């Protein structure tokens, strides 16, 4: 496919069950989103998920994965993180973006988890976003991965793909989360981020997506696509 082929998708009606079946097949074998990958490798405690989610902000998945695999065998609890100290923590997470402020945020939330929550990561959006450095996306990702809460963490890939499919027509990730929760069956909420991140990174890319080989092309409205491969 090339220029001016935006009308070739969308020959089938949208069906969530069939779409997610194809989506699972499409991303099989692709690198996972880092927080899910770390969980599957045994670093899935609420504290590890929260810290990994914070580190992942504006950081490539492969970098987040490498940082997590280096950090969590050494410090997997609030007290162990505090015991590292800021300088050592910065050193361990440095490949990630903004290592100094992220280290300070991790140490502060570690202290607050011990002082205010008895050493346990809180589950509510309000409590999580009260931690410095934790916004709605990090809170949603933590709740979904660590606690199995029915929510849809939305990053740039989820936002782009959902709009390109024509499922939503939104301008911000926050609006996309609300819109997706209104149209997707609840059983797919957690899985949405897990599947759409690799799908968006490697198949439904921001520029010239791979429409010609996409398993979901027939359901996709290809909104905004003017050039594809």
**Tens-place pLDDT, residues 185-197:** 999 999 999 999 9
Segment 140-181, tens digit of pLDDT: 999 999 999 999 999 999 999 999 999 999 999 999 999 999
> Dmax over Cα atoms in the chain, in whole Å?
58
Residue 8 pLDDT grade (very low, low, confident, very high; cuts 50, 70, 90): low
Domain with CATH 1.10.1670.10 in the chain: 16-30+152-219
Grouping H, G, I as helix, E, B as strand and the rest as coil, residue 44 is coil
Is the pTM higher than 0.95? The answer reads no
CATH fold of 16-30+152-219, please? Endonuclease Iii, domain 2 (1.10.1670)
- What is the spatial distance between Cα 74 and Cα 218, in angstroms, rounded to a whole number? 47
Cα 202 to chain centroid, rounded? 15
pLDDT higher than threshold 50 for residue 2: no
- What is the spatial distance between Cα 97 and Cα 101, in angstroms, rounded to a whole number? 9
> In this structure, how many other beta carbons lie within 10 angstroms of the beta carbon of residue 122?
21
CATH fold of 34-147, please? Endonuclease III; domain 1 (1.10.340)
Segment 77-130, tens digit of pLDDT: 999 999 999 999 999 999 999 999 999 999 999 999 999 999 999 999 999 999
Domain with CATH 1.10.340.30 in the chain: 34-147
pLDDT higher than threshold 80 for residue 5: no
């Amino acid at each position: 496919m090339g220029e001016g082929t935006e009308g070739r998708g969308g020959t089938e009606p949208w069906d969530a069950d069939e779409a997610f079946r194809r989506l699972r097949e499409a991303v099989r074998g692709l690198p996972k989103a880092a927080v899910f990958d770390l969980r599957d490798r045994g670093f899935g405690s609420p504290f590890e998920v929260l810290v990994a989610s914070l580190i992942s902000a504006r950081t490539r998945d492969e970098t987040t994965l490498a940082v997590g695999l280096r950090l969590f065998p050494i410090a997997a609890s609030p007290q162990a993180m505090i015991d590292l100290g800021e300088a050592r923590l910065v050193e361990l997470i440095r490949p990630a973006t903004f290592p100094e402020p992220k280290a300070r945020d991790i140490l502060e939330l570690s202290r607050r988890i011990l002082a205010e929550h008895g050493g346990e990561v809180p589950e509510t959006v309000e409590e999580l976003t009260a931690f410095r450095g934790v916004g709605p996306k990090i809170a949603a990702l933590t709740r979904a991965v660590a606690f199995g809460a029915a929510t849809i963490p939305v990053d740039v890939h989820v936002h782009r793909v959902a709009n390109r499919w024509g499922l939503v027509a939104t301008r911000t990730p926050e609006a996309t989360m609300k819109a997706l929760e209104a149209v997707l069956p609840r059983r797919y909420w957690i899985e949405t981020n897990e599947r759409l991140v690799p799908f968006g990174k490697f198949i439904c890319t921001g520029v010239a997506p791979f429409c010609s080989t996409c398993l979901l092309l027939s359901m996709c409205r290809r909104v905004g696509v003017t050039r594809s491969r």
